[in-house]
Amino acid sequence: MTPSSQGSGAPAPCALLVVGIGELATPRGDGPLGGAALGRVDRARGQAVACDGDRILAVGPEPELRARFAANEVLDASGGLVIPGLVDAHTHPVFLGTREGEFEQRIAGRSYVEIAAAGGGIRSSLRGVRGADEAALVAALLPRLDRFLALGTTTIEAKTGYGLTVADELKGLDVIAKADRHHAVDLVATCLGGHDVPPEFEGRASDWVEVVAKELWPAAASKATFADVFTESHVFGLDDSRRLMESARDVGLELRMHVDQLTALGGAQLAAELGARSADHLEHVTPEGIRALAERGVQPVLCPLVPLYLGESQEAPARAMVDAGLAPALSTDFNPGSCYCMSLFEVMSWGALRYGFSADEALTAATLNAAASLGLGSDRGSIEPGKRADLVITDLTSAAHLTYELGRSPVRAVVKDGRVAWRG
Ligand SMILES: [Zn+2]
């Protein structure tokens, strides 16, 4: 009989036992969960979670787990809600310098496209990244990861895209790799070589597309999991986007795409045709686009704060997507221009307010579905034995409170890879 067998013998050692949990709320399975399953969250009271190494060993009634395990460390949740570590499936965190001046201009009535045409927008961040060395960019990124962690986010997808030369994009990927090694938060790297047309290629976007296809993607393939493009007529139209994404796929990169954000260009259909992992934004997606995504099982990554932040009225038709069986993720789209927010709690609230998501639906979208969109659904995104021990201990009384409160972080402690990585 092994020491961990239930019922008899000495308690098995484990590194961490989380007790005093008011409510434990988690989706189940390897995801992604779409349609009616989006809101299928298990909620149970009086549970405990045993962790060892970087894994969850057991989840069950607290008295039972206290009898089964002798823990090195006991973490008391003080009656709070415990949820899986949040997963942010769309961020642009590699940049130097903020763009609050542009925010003021937008509030005063200028549009995102007007500001970009005047040399602002993505191009103003280009100057910062190109002028900085790797160490300066890592030094700017690490405090942002501290803030993600304090807000309960344990994994982020991290895009480059503010370099837009081959060397500066590769530098961005090296920054992401270094930050991943030096910080508890896990980063999944995306090379966003198709973020914008670099100023040197003004008026000849297709020439930059060829540089990306022939030089950047092959060099990025060993450093990134995903390639990404901003598919929009003022940046990369459907033909350029297709060339970018097919050439990325040819060197083994998986695909994420910014599509149908500002206009109904048909990017969702292209993402479906190409078998992208995710189609992101989708404010202007058409019913045909939703059908195409559903047929290919492409996950929408929705960013409800972005239209709010940009002063745009069009919302992603999230409920129609869920009704079509799609499995959306909710993300911040954290970036210096169109959404300076790192809080998935805030995003879950806006998912409720703008999309009509229930708290359970929002929780699945910000955990298991987000992890699944990164290819990590069997490793994280829910609180189940065998999964990575990433947990958020909050001071909330139940999961229903998740979307109810705005403007305050409810995070009391964060467990990452089985260790208490942050305490409030
Ligand atoms: Zn983005």
CA 72 to ligand 1 centroid distance, Å:
42
- Expressed in angstroms and rounded, the spacing between residue 331 Cα and the centre of ligand 1 is 10
Nearest to 161 by CA among 243, 226, 110: 226
Q: Measured between alpha carbons, how far is residue 45 from residues 63, 74, 410 in Å?
A: 12, 18, 19
Instruction: Tell me how far the alpha carbon of residue 374 lies from the centroid of ligand 1, in angstroms.
Output: 15
**pLDDT for the residue 147:** 98
Q: Read off the pLDDT of each residue in 188-199 and give the average, rounded to a whole number.
A: 96
- As a whole number of angstroms, the distance between CA 281 and CA 268 comes to 10
pLDDT score at 124: 87
**How far, in Å, from the CA of 385 to the mean position of ligand 1?**
33
Q: Which CATH number fits domain 86-342: 3.20.20.140, 3.40.50.12160, 2.40.50.140, 1.20.1630.10?
A: 3.20.20.140
Rounded to the nearest whole angstrom, what is the distance from the C-alpha of residue 20 to the centroid of ligand 1? 39
**Distance, CA 333 to ligand 1 centroid (Å)?**
5
CA pair distance 259, 229, nearest whole angstrom: 8
**How much of the chain, in percent, has pLDDT values that exceed 90?**
90
What digits encode the pLDDT tens for the residues 394-412? 999 999 999 999 999 999 9
Domain ranges of the chain: 12-84+383-423, 86-342
Whether 138 has a pLDDT exceeding 70, the answer reads yes
Ligand 1 centroid vs 19 CA: distance in angstroms? Answer: 38
- Ligand 1 centroid to Cα of residue 63, in Å, is 45
Q: What is the pTM of this model?
A: 0.96
- 48, 18 in Cβ contact below 8 A? yes
Peptide bond into 32 cis (omega under 30): yes
pLDDT (tens digit per residue) in 254-303: 999 999 999 999 999 999 999 999 999 999 999 999 999 999 999 999 99
SS (H, E, C) 373-417: HCCCCCCCCCCCCCCECCEEEECCCCHHHCCCCCCCCCEEEEEEC
pLDDT digit string, tens, across residues 158-169:
999 999 999 999
CA 91 / ligand 1 centre spacing (Å) = 6
CA proximity to 165, closest of 115, 122, 129, 118? 129
* Domain pair 12-84+383-423 / 86-342, same fold: no
Q: CA 186, CA 39: separation in Å to the nearest integer?
A: 26
pLDDT of residue 200: 95
Kindly give the distance from the C-alpha atom of residue 308 to the centroid of ligand 1, in angstroms, as a whole number. 15
Q: At what angle do helices 238-250 and 267-274 cross, to 10 degrees?
A: 20
**Contact (CB, 8 A) for 398 and 417:** no
Which class does domain 12-84+383-423 fall in?
mainly beta
Distance from residue 328's CA to the centre of ligand 1 (Å): 16
pLDDT digits (tens, 9 = 90+) for 146-156: 999 999 999 99
Which stretches of 121-265 are assigned E, i.e. beta strand? Answer: 153-159, 186-194, 226-230, 254-259
What distance in angstroms lies between residue 1's CA and the mean position of ligand 1's atoms? Answer: 52
Region 73-80: what's the mean pLDDT? 98
So what's the pLDDT on residue 8?
Answer: 56
Beta carbons within 10 angstroms of residue 247's beta carbon: 20
d(CA 96, CA 16): 38
Q: Which residues have a Cβ under 8 Å from the Cβ of 25 and sit 6 or more positions away?
A: 41, 42, 43, 81, 82, 83, 360, 363, 398, 399, 402
If you average pLDDT over every residue of the chain, what do you get?
95
Going from the Cα of 92 to the center of ligand 1, the distance in angstroms, rounded, reads 6
Q: Ligand 1 center to residue 62 CA distance, Å?
A: 42
| Residue among 354, 374, 317 at smallest CA distance from 156 | 374
**Main-chain dihedrals φ then ψ at residue 268, nearest 5 degrees:** -60, -45
What's the confidence (pLDDT) of residue 23? Answer: 98
User: What is the distance in A from the centroid of ligand 1 to the CA of 94?
Assistant: 12
CA of 310 to the centre of ligand 1 (A): 13
Give dist(CA 34, CA 170) in Å, integer: 35
Tokens read off for 48 = 């405990």
The 10s digit of each residue's pLDDT in 288-347 is: 999 999 999 999 999 999 999 888 899 999 999 999 999 999 999 999 998 999 999 999
